Structure 1
């Protein structure tokens, strides 16, 4: 994959994020608070996982964020999409309304695969520009490539890239709505 293509994809991701923020502003309530709360934040400056306390940028795998309609403070942050999905399912059962979910989009970053302790792991990208609306990408599940907490859901906005990744590293391609059933 060439560098210019990645720049185009990052630009497209930024446009998609802006559209998401604009749409969130139309949902009602205080427009200023809504816009601020629906934008991904960088998780690369010591941010910790709300589920386990690990420093997100220090560990492999996609970074992620959840924000609910009734929250005024910043999003809940995670170092594992499996943790995010588990927390989201609990919040859904309680009736909490999801305002925004963001995850690293591996189609928009130049990720690396690294061998650590006999396991292949994918690089972390925790800058705000690396995030996409987590409900939009497809996810590679059950691959041989792991994240911070072991087996991971790996998000790709480009279905072809996700399929190629799954072909090379094992796994299946699934939609956001299917992730809870995989747990």
Structure 2
């Protein structure tokens, strides 16, 4: 009878187990913090002309007057769909954003209609002057870099609104002609 010989692998040492666990933890942490995830990608404005509804009032954005807006949040918010939170007015965007910020949501990017980059119309309706809506992707600009006409006689979808312009001189001229004052993003965000 011959004895069977077995060749056993040596058991890992405590040092080897700890080193392996440490390497795995480091790789996992680097994956969480490193580039490549959706939160690290630059947000770009999306088109809101295909019947998308405002996340505050539920109205179809492209069917109403005034500036449109969108906010991208970190951590995939809002969870019910891909893409940004959407709005048919800057005023509603600001209220929604303030509420989400209080819940700990982090803004990645915010975009609003830039009236300096579109051929807008002023239209009379229900005894008020309204500004046309522009919600194609190319009509949006970084909300934090624009100048806003507040308290003018020109209204958006929900009444008085903040009308954004990338050109400060155009914003000043609009306010001079239609009333109101020109504010920057930090001032507008504080008026919610």
Scaled by the length of structure 2, the TM-score of the pair is 0.77
Q: Equivalent residue of 2:145, what SS?
A: coil
- The 5 A counterparts of 1:98-137 are 98-137=107-146
1:135 is paired with a residue whose SS is: helix
* Cα-to-partner distance string for 1:60-94 (whole Å, 9 max, x where unaligned): 00110011111162100000111100111112222
In the aligned structure 1, how far is the partner of 2:47 from the partner of 2:179? 30
Report what 1:181 is aligned to: 190
Supply the distance in 2 between the matched residues of 1:171 and 1:101 (Cα, whole angstroms). Answer: 23
1:134-149 map, 5 Å: 134-149=143-158
Q: Aligned pairs, how many?
A: 156
Mapped pair 1:42 → 2:47: yes
1:16 aligned partner? none
- Confirm whether residue 81 of structure 1 aligns to residue 87 of structure 2: no
Q: Deviations over 1:100-147 (max 9, x none)?
A: 100000000000000011110000000000000111101000000000
- CA–CA distance in 2 between the matches of 1:118 and 1:136? 32
CA contact (8 A) 2:72 2:108 kept: yes
Structure 1 portions without partners, runs of 5+: 1-26
| 1:8 equivalent in structure 2 | none
Q: Identify the match of residue 36 of structure 2 among 30, 35, 42.
A: 30
Higher fraction of helix: 1
Q: C-alpha separation between the residues in 1 aligned to 2:38 and 2:70?
A: 20
Shift of 1:32: 6.2
SS in 1 for 2:49: coil
C-alpha distance in 1, partners of 2:176/2:34?
43
State the shift of 1:182 in Å: 2.3
